[in-house]
Amino acid sequence: MVLSALTIRETSLFRAFPLAICAKWLIWLAALLAALVVMAPRALADIPQQARYGDSNIAARLYAEGAPKAGETWMLALRFTPKSAEWHGYWANPGDAGQGMWLRLDLPEGWQVGTPQYPVPERLEIGRLMNHVYKGAYTVLVPIKLPPGAEITGLPRITGHVEYLACTDAICVPQDALLEARQGGDFARWQAEVAPLMSAESHFEVFGKTVRLALPIPQSASLPAPHVFIQNENLVDYAAPQVFRRSGDMLVAEIAVAEYFGGEPSAVTGILSFGDGAGVEFAATSGEVPRGGEVIAGASALPTIPPLWTLILGALAGGLLLNIMPCVFPILSLKALSLARAGESEAKARSEGLAYTAGVVLACVALGAALLALRAAGEQVGWAFQLQEPGVVVALLVLASVITANFAGVFELPSISITRSGQPAGAFATGLLAAFVATPCTGPFMAAAMGAALILPVGEALLLFAMLGLGLALPFLALGFIPAARRRLPKPGPWMERFRRIMAIPMGLTALALLWLTVQLGGRGFALFALVMLFGIILGLWVVGRLQKAGKMAWPAFGLVAAPFLIFGAFALPASFAAPSEKARASLHSPLAFSEAALEQARVSGQPVFVWFTADWCVTCKVNEGIAIEREEVRAAFEAAGVITMEGDWTVRDDVITRFLTAQGVAGVPLYLWYAPGAASPEQLPQVLTPEMLVQRARGSGNRPETASGAGSD
């Protein structure tokens, strides 16, 4: 006889409440060491002579199904019987708290213990802790595999030792029992109670912060209250709401990952409960899980992901529309001059079109890759995250000022010119700059694609970013390859030089806007030092221009003039940076500052709620606020209907707002949400607002008592 030990579940740490991460890890380590100290003697010792705790609260008995036969599987059954209804036991994975069964059997040599088979557990939620339990008597079947040449004479004597936990809603008591298999028991009933293993193939994928399962369940199957019990530890949040969708004969389950997600496993196992005591066991391998489908259970907090082809079209259309969106106006000057040059020759037009497209696509893919990398590293960032970084804004300020000076004729760029001579390098540089400046705002069609890109697999996400760039570059690319379109452009001539100087005005206004944004991000002192550094750069460029006109070597002089100012900026800017404090915005609505707690409180008030998310660098946001939100007729309608208004300022990186935007399926601002009284989910309004949209919704909510109106009233 030899010992065959089977550890189903050694321990489950209680899910920590808000504590420091360091403290959580110390608790986890201490518990692990304690478990090793306790479990090590078990693995080395023989079955004890007597139970240490007893089984007075939940009795355990071991039964055998008939006589074993060589080369076949022999079934044993562990029957657990509580002494009263208040006591419960635990499934293999007990959930957030509890302890699973630990079993050791004394078997003949060569006999092997198989994977235990459990009935469908129940959920028991106490506070925020979700436990997987059995109330009442339950049976765990333990298959024993016999070798082909096993010598059997009658019923062998099988002994063992089992440890488990017996709990009520108030206390938990360790239990253990010495076991000896006996004939008898209702194996037919116990086998029917066990969740059968699905023979059809199941798949899973870790999709952003969600584990998605594809379980082959016929569409005709009744699922009154489905729930998935995951056996893998540190994979999912047991207490999180689960969402179930139908995709033909495939049931798709979506479950949020655990707070301390342990990484994607090789397989996901568990039990799907149908909700009426029945269920099936599954073992899912990594594979494709259908997207979309009809929600049949669970209030989805996850954005519905449309098919990939619709996202590709959305990204393409969104990029195309960026050409006419207000937030793209600063780059129109660059495009106008480049388009004018395209008429010089067919070959140059095509090469410039391709070079410009390559620059735009490369910039969009690079920004997207950086965004995905930062999110994978745990950073809460969204689309246009670059404009939330003071250093990037200062660099853009310098770049816009340099381009303004170039447009105004202060100096000329050698070989690589953005505005002169049809060189592909200049078109490529124009494309890079156009994409970098054009991407802060999200427009129609683009929002869903960019939101999905944050949670799609990396390859598909980068494809969407590339399609966004292609859409942005498409008009210029079409002009490069369609002669009829090029013939409609004005012929090159002296007017181009005058037009170039006129275009210095919008670029100069862009530089002023970036200077204002620098103040918002880093404070007035930070902006002042940035302006001093910028003065030195422009002074150096002016000297370069004077030398160029005289036909002398110019660029070494730029280094001599600008270097002291650049060194000054390198030291002064970090030292002068001051993180902005919460600022009061002038608004007709006196909106509340966004927080999830404030939003929840506003929604339970029974009043309509309007939430808008904005940023100082988002031109679309500011245009919408000016023409639609900050209007007297809108204020009057909101006041009459008692609308609670709330504003989320995303000018500076805000992890709470970023997570909320992601949950709504968008990657950036603007975002406008209307919560009708009693509605389970918000209505997402278009990204181009009109006053009528807001007034109509306010009037449709009905009038409210005077005491209930106004979000911003003190």
**Does residue 636 form part of some domain?**
yes
**Does residue 528 form part of some domain?**
no
What is the mean pLDDT of the segment spanning 533-561?
Answer: 90
Q: How far apart are CA 211 and CA 254, in angstroms?
A: 6
- Residue-by-residue DSSP string for 321-346: HTTTSGGGGGGHHHHHHHHHHTTS-H
Angle subtended at Cα 108 by Cα 104 and Cα 110, rounded to the nearest 5 degrees: 100
Contact 278, 406 (CB under 8 A): no
Q: At 438, which helix (H) or strand (E)?
A: helix 424-438
**Does residue 529 form part of some domain?**
no
What confidence score (pLDDT) does residue 28 get? Answer: 43
**Does residue 540 form part of some domain?**
no
Angle subtended at Cα 409 by Cα 405 and Cα 415, rounded to the nearest 5 degrees: 90
pLDDT band at 279 (very low <50, low <70, confident <90, very high): very high
Q: Which of 25-29, 247-251, 425-429, 508-512 has the least mean pLDDT?
A: 25-29
Residue 329 sits in the same domain as residue 476: yes
What confidence score (pLDDT) does residue 216 get? Answer: 95
Cα of 287 vs its chain's centroid, Å: 20
**Does residue 402 form part of some domain?**
no
CATH number of the domain encompassing residue 220: 2.60.40
3-class DSSP state of 504: helix
Contact 701, 643 (CB under 8 A): yes
Residue 515's Cβ-side half-sphere holds a number of Cα atoms within 13 Å equal to 17
What confidence score (pLDDT) does residue 436 get? Answer: 76
Q: For the chain, what's the residue count?
A: 714
Q: End of a domain among 193, 228, 256?
A: 193
What is the mean pLDDT of the segment spanning 373-379?
Answer: 69
What is the mean pLDDT of the segment spanning 504-516?
Answer: 84
Q: Please name the amino acid found at residue 8.
A: I
* Residue 131 Cα distances to 80, 98, 276, 531, 554, angstroms: 18, 7, 18, 60, 75
CATH number of the domain encompassing residue 680: 3.40.30.10
* Residue 286 Cα distances to 211, 310, 397, 457, angstroms: 11, 25, 47, 13
Residue 177 sits in the same domain as residue 88: yes
Structure tokens at 478: 């079409």
Q: Is the dihedral of CA 341, 342, 347, 351 positive or negative?
A: positive
Structure tokens at 224: 């009154």
β-strands 279-286, 267-273 pairing = antiparallel
> Is the whole-model pTM more than 0.85?
no
With a cut of 70, say whether residue 340 has pLDDT above it. Answer: no
| pLDDT tens digits, 143-180 | 999 999 888 877 889 999 999 999 998 899 999 999 99
Cα of 167 vs its chain's centroid, Å: 37
What is the mean pLDDT of the segment spanning 384-410?
Answer: 85
Residue 151 sits in the same domain as residue 11: yes
Residue 82 sits in the same domain as residue 104: yes
| pLDDT tens digits, 22-57 | 444 444 444 444 444 444 444 444 677 788 999 999
What confidence score (pLDDT) does residue 301 get? Answer: 43
Residue 219 sits in the same domain as residue 135: no
Contact 454, 303 (CB under 8 A): no
Structure tokens at 570: 């390198």
What total number of domains does the chain contain?
Answer: 4
Phi and psi of 274, rounded to 5°?
Answer: -80, -20
Within a 10 A sphere around the Cβ of 243, how many other Cβ atoms? 21
| pLDDT tens digits, 402-446 | 888 988 889 886 544 544 445 677 778 878 877 877 765 566 667
Q: Please name the amino acid found at residue 104.
A: R
Cα of 588 vs its chain's centroid, Å: 34
**Does residue 577 form part of some domain?**
no
Residue 603 sits in the same domain as residue 637: yes
Q: End of a domain among 263, 297, 331?
A: 297
What confidence score (pLDDT) does residue 662 get? Answer: 75
High-pLDDT (> 90) share of the chain, %: 38
What is the mean pLDDT of the segment spanning 247-264?
Answer: 86
With a cut of 80, say whether residue 378 has pLDDT above it. Answer: no
Q: End of a domain among 273, 297, 321?
A: 297
Nearest to 407 by CA among 531, 541, 499: 499
Q: Please name the amino acid found at residue 42.
A: R
Residue 358 sits in the same domain as residue 454: yes
- Residue-by-residue DSSP string for 148-210: TT----SS---EEEEEEEEE-SS-EEEEEEEEE-EE---HHHHHHHBPPBP-S-EEEEEETTE
Residue 68 sits in the same domain as residue 86: yes
What is the mean pLDDT of the segment spanning 655-674?
Answer: 82
pLDDT band at 644 (very low <50, low <70, confident <90, very high): very high
Q: Which of 17-31, 397-411, 514-528, 664-678 has the least mean pLDDT?
A: 17-31
Maximum CA extent, the chain: 112
With a cut of 80, say whether residue 543 has pLDDT above it. Answer: yes
| pLDDT tens digits, 691-703 | 999 999 999 875 4
**Does residue 51 form part of some domain?**
yes
Residue 154 sits in the same domain as residue 175: yes
Within a 10 A sphere around the Cβ of 175, how many other Cβ atoms? 25
Residue 96 sits in the same domain as residue 184: yes
* Residue 524 Cα distances to 246, 401, 572, 576, angstroms: 55, 19, 13, 9
What confidence score (pLDDT) does residue 381 get? Answer: 67
Nearest to 58 by CA among 101, 90, 87: 87
CATH number of the domain encompassing residue 17: 2.60.40.10
Residue 349 sits in the same domain as residue 240: no
Residue 627 sits in which domain range?
592-708
Q: How far apart are CA 42 and CA 96, in angstroms?
A: 25
Q: What DSSP designation does 581 have?
A: P
Q: How far apart are CA 649 and CA 657, in angstroms?
A: 8
Within a 10 A sphere around the Cβ of 42, how many other Cβ atoms? 16
**Does residue 18 form part of some domain?**
yes
β-strands 138-145, 129-135 pairing = unpaired
3-class DSSP state of 611: strand
Residue 123 sits in the same domain as residue 212: no
